């Protein structure tokens, strides 16, 4: 198994690359269909736990618009 890398982007998702298993709250496996995924951190995605880009529309604070 190769290493997994999780990268946090400011005001954005967590990007997960490598070998990983994604599970829902009941421990059931979620098949992400690809080897690199973006996990939602803002809580507004319609594809939870995957990111759908909604965070870009709802940014607030000093980083907004950058």
How far is residue 66's CA from residue 63's CA, in Å, rounded to a whole number? 6
Asked whether 36 and 61 are in contact (CB, 8 A), the reply is no
Tokens of 31: 């098949």
Other Cβ atoms closer than 10 A to 40: 20
* pLDDT tens figures, 13-64: 999 999 999 999 999 999 988 889 999 999 999 999 999 999 888 765 445 4
**Sign of the C-alpha dihedral, residues 34, 39, 43, 49?**
positive
In this predicted structure, the answer to whether residue 7 has a pLDDT above a threshold of 90 is yes
Q: What is the pTM of this model?
A: 0.76
């Amino acid at each position: 198994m190769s290493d997994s890398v999780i990268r946090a982007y400011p005001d954005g998702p967590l990007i997960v690359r490598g070998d990983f298993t994604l599970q829902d709250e009941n421990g059931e496996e979620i098949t992400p269909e690809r080897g690199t995924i973006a996990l939602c951190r803002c809580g507004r995605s319609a594809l939870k736990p995957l990111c759908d880009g909604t965070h870009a529309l709802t940014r607030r604070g000093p980083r907004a618009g950058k």
